[in-house]
Amino acid sequence: MKVFSNIPDIRRQRWAEPLVTWGFVPTMGFLHEGHLSLVRRARQENDRVGVSIFVNPTQFNEPGDLAAYPRDTNRDLSLLKEEGVDLVWTPDPEIVYPPDYETFVEIEKVARPLEGAARPGFFRGVATVVAKLFNVFQPQRTYFGQKDAQQAVVIKRMVKDLNFNIEVVVCPTVREADGLAMSSRNANLSPPARQQATCLYRALLAAKDLFEQGERDAEELRAKMVAVIESADMARLDYVSVAHPSALEELTVIEDRALLSLAVFFDTVRLIDNMVVES
């Protein structure tokens, strides 16, 4: 496994065998089974696998959140080596954003609600760094998690709109045994908050249950999710949503599919989760 910080080194390695196919997995590190599931899928579907580990400063709107983001590059590299990854980019921030940097990518409608509304500038930062990563690796395929449902929609939109010649593969959310969606941020939960953090998954399941009993009033599903979150005394609700799975507009009545999603704070740790329901 080759690990580089500089872009010319990544490019040289990527193009050393021009005819092989590359699968690429962008990450912010502090890897868990969710990330590794993307790496394994990329391994299955491509000759070579590239991974980036970069905590992207332009997608953080709270300096405290950026500083608190967990990191352990040595551990990450040994996990990636075990998975048979070929190439890892661990750039210093100045390589990605030199002092004279001034180009950003903005996606419009699908980036506005949900995470876009809760975290101003978030998708501008995500889209910008992902576009740069795509240009550095030039993979045939790239792998994203359904865990970040809106991110997957936004990246697909960007790939289509900017004609990136890359297939975007979205992989299922990997969960802990008790249902909590795996996330690097889970490491920052206090033990009691970690216990209560299952409320996100329980809220989604409760809403899904209502849907499966025939409820099609989106507001009823939202109210159910709110009630479950409110039953966890350490949880502070940011938003709940029942939206169209690709347009991401809030629904009044669910036709055949909906994306249930929510964001919840435990102290300063913000968790998100989602589930698609379908008749």
By the rule CB under 6 A, 225 interacts with ligand AMP: no
Interface residue with ligand AMP, options 147, 202, 208, 270 (CB under 6 A): 147
Residue 155, SS3 per DSSP: helix
How far apart CA 40 and CA 180 sit, in angstroms, is 21
By the rule CB under 6 A, 114 interacts with ligand AMP: no
Q: Of the two residues 27 and 46, which places its CB atom closer to ligand AMP in the complex?
A: 27
From the list 60, 141, 119, 116, the residue with the least C-alpha distance to 93 is 60
Q: Of the two residues 37 and 188, which places its CB atom closer to ligand AMP in the complex?
A: 37
By the rule CB under 6 A, 182 interacts with ligand AMP: yes
**Interface stretch with ligand AMP, choices 15-23, 104-112, 180-188, 218-226 (CB under 6 A):** 180-188
Interface residue with ligand AMP, options 34, 91, 113, 116 (CB under 6 A): 34
By the rule CB under 6 A, 37 interacts with ligand AMP: yes
Q: Of the two residues 155 and 243, which places its CB atom closer to ligand AMP in the complex?
A: 155
How far apart CA 216 and CA 259 sit, in angstroms, is 13
Distance in Å, CB of 147 to ligand AMP, minimum: 4
How far apart CA 77 and CA 270 sit, in angstroms, is 26
Distance in Å, CB of 169 to ligand AMP, minimum: 10
**Dihedral pair phi/psi, residue 159, rounded to 5°:** -60, -40
By the rule CB under 6 A, 235 interacts with ligand AMP: no
**Interface stretch with ligand AMP, choices 41-49, 139-147, 205-213, 229-237 (CB under 6 A):** 139-147
By the rule CB under 6 A, 141 interacts with ligand AMP: no
Q: Of the two residues 12 and 75, which places its CB atom closer to ligand AMP in the complex?
A: 75
By the rule CB under 6 A, 186 interacts with ligand AMP: no
Contacts of 244 by beta carbon, 8 Å cutoff, 6+ apart: 251, 257, 258, 259
Q: Of the two residues 155 and 210, which places its CB atom closer to ligand AMP in the complex?
A: 155
How far apart CA 40 and CA 49 sit, in angstroms, is 9
Contacts of 35 by beta carbon, 8 Å cutoff, 6+ apart: 25, 27, 145
Residue 177 buriedness (CB in 10 A; 0-12 / 13-18 / 19+): exposed
Query: What are the residue numbers of the active site?
Result: 35
Q: Which of residues 11-30 bind ligand AMP (CB under 6 A)?
A: 27-28
Q: Of the two residues 222 and 270, which places its CB atom closer to ligand AMP in the complex?
A: 270
By the 8 A CB rule, do 65 and 18 touch? no
From the list 132, 127, 179, the residue with the least C-alpha distance to 158 is 127
Task: Measure CA 85 to chain center.
Answer: 20
**Interface stretch with ligand AMP, choices 5-13, 78-86, 101-109, 144-152 (CB under 6 A):** 144-152
Residue 243 buriedness (CB in 10 A; 0-12 / 13-18 / 19+): buried
Q: What is the contact surface with ligand AMP in residues (CB under 6 A)? A: 27-28, 34-35, 37-38, 144-145, 147-148, 171, 173-174, 181-184
